Amino acid sequence: MKVLVTGASGMLGGGVARALAARGDDVSVLQRRPSGLADEGLREILGDVCDPAAVSRAVRGQDAVVHLAAKVNVTGAWKDYVRVNVGGTRAVVDACIEHGVPRLVHTSSPSVAHAGTSIVGEGAGPADPERARGSYARSKAIAERIALTADARARRDGRGPAVVAIRPHLVWGPGDTQLVARIIRRAESGRLPVIGSGAALVDTTYIDNAVDALVAALDRCEQIRGEAFVVTNGEPRPISEIFAAWARAGGVDVEPKRIPTRVALLAGSAVDVVTALRERLGDADDVDPPLTRFLVEQLTTAHWFDQRRTREALGWTPRVSLEEGFARLAASGGEAGRLVA
């Protein structure tokens, strides 16, 4: 099968591209800068996912597309999230329709259905741009709707790809700079925060399990089309325990700094106000703030999901437990790479 993977310079996208190539698929990857995958025998296409012409050229002749390219920063200008997450998804969908590609796996996020309150044992609720929190979540909610609407239109008109949306939750592992590396850096500097009690139960996903789930979705795309699935390890742990395990894997064994929830919410709200002002002034460069209101909500509310439908539909179960994942991360020395979803 000829498969195009977008966003393969990231940890998850690169893992998917390598897994598909290892089983014998003819894999091409699309990203703005060289990723090194060409040295591993994959066809590398340089181009911007926001450029419809570049996407069309990359999609032409493919049997399937796995779309992972996204802007994932916590802060930044709304227009940039729209350009990449919304515009990029629209370009991929349009190219699949134009060239008759039969399968599209769209990588989304559980945050598209999160309205700021706890998620306790729920499935994949509908993407809701109006209630999603933060620019990333809102833009990804719009993008998921574009992808799944294309599936509905294809079933109605008989033209277009079968589409499945996969929402991996907090993907981590060796080579992760978006999550694990930040926790380790903050632990090293004595700035590792735990908001409130740190007891909120949170699901995460080890990288190998997320890769396997996306590959399984590709294989079953036409049977389970039109649905969204949250993917996790299915092992919720207190957020403070997860942070401590990641820090220890990086060689830092420190007690997290506890911040009262009310104080954190006030601080996060202040950061949001400054960020919004900078955006209006045209100075909203990506930064890594210690707190935003969205981050406080994520760190103080439970996020764990019912995985029964996901595992049944995908024919997939996680093969790497959290404990084994922590051990692998420690063996790598907390090595940092990059996370896309």
Work out the end-to-end distance of the chain between its first and last CA atoms, rounded to an integer number of angstroms: 24
Taking only the tens place, the pLDDT of each residue in 55-83 is 999 999 999 999 999 998 777 788 999 99
Sheet with 64-67, strands from edge to edge, namely 43-46, 26-31, 2-6, 64-67, 103-107, 162-168, 228-231
Whole-number pLDDT of residue 332: 87
pLDDT band at 290 (very low <50, low <70, confident <90, very high): low
* Domains of the chain listed by start with CATH number: 2-174+205-234+305-319 (3.40.50.720)
- Position with higher pLDDT, 230 vs 265: 230
Active site residue 136: yes
Whole-number pLDDT of residue 336: 47
Q: From 73, 70, 55, 77, select the one nearest 13 (Cα to Cα).
A: 70
Whole-number pLDDT of residue 175: 85
Taking only the tens place, the pLDDT of each residue in 95-104 is 999 999 999 9
Taking only the tens place, the pLDDT of each residue in 151-197 is 999 999 989 999 999 999 999 999 888 788 888 888 887 777 777 77
| Length reported for the chain | 341
Chain-centre distance for alpha carbon 2? 23
Residue tagged active-site, from 11, 105, 136, 220 = 136
Whole-number pLDDT of residue 232: 97
